[in-house]
Amino acid sequence: MPIQAGDRIPEAVLQYIDNGVHRVDTHTLFDDRKLVLFAVPGAFTPTCSERHLPSFIAQFNAFRARGIEVACIAVNDAFVMQAWGKDQHVPAGLRMLSDGNGDFTRALGMELDASGYGMGMRSKRYALYADNGLVKALWVEGPGEFNVSSAEYVLAHLPD
């Protein structure tokens, strides 16, 4: 069953690159902070590179002004996420997280079978807002859609 508002973020270990490859468990990532996590089916893919990530880059300071951290996640390796972040000029502080084996994605119930496109198991496109590890809001896109997980939509629909 997919994660829902009111659920606690499941335990998993993710990776990112910052002067070397680092591991971070989800409790460390989510506890004691407000965080918007948005997931993309794949780094360097068209909608992800042309619309989804750019929306969060453009609105990054608006989230920060509200005391909310921002992170992007994909079922790609940490090296791909780092390269994509550099290519997209991601600002310092916007974390580019790797769920390389899809463990966190499966724990959330957000896996997407993209094997028909030669991409294997990926993540659905979504955004979630969590406060101290508790999901407060979740916006999941339908197949091929990009409507409810943009930074602008999330900002307009954040719960109080």
What does the pLDDT look like over 12-35, one tens digit per residue? 999 999 999 999 999 999 999 999
pLDDT of residue 144: 87
Domain boundaries, the chain: 13-157
Positions of the chain with pLDDT under 70 = none
- b/e map 82-121, b = 16+ CB within 10 Å: bbbbeebebeeebbbbbbbebebbbbbebbbebeeeeeee
Query: Which active-site residues does the annotation give?
Result: 48
pLDDT of residue 151: 98
Looking up tokens 């909608």, which residue turns up? 47
pTM score: 0.95
Please tell us whether the domain made up of 13-157 is placed in CATH 3.40.30.10.
yes
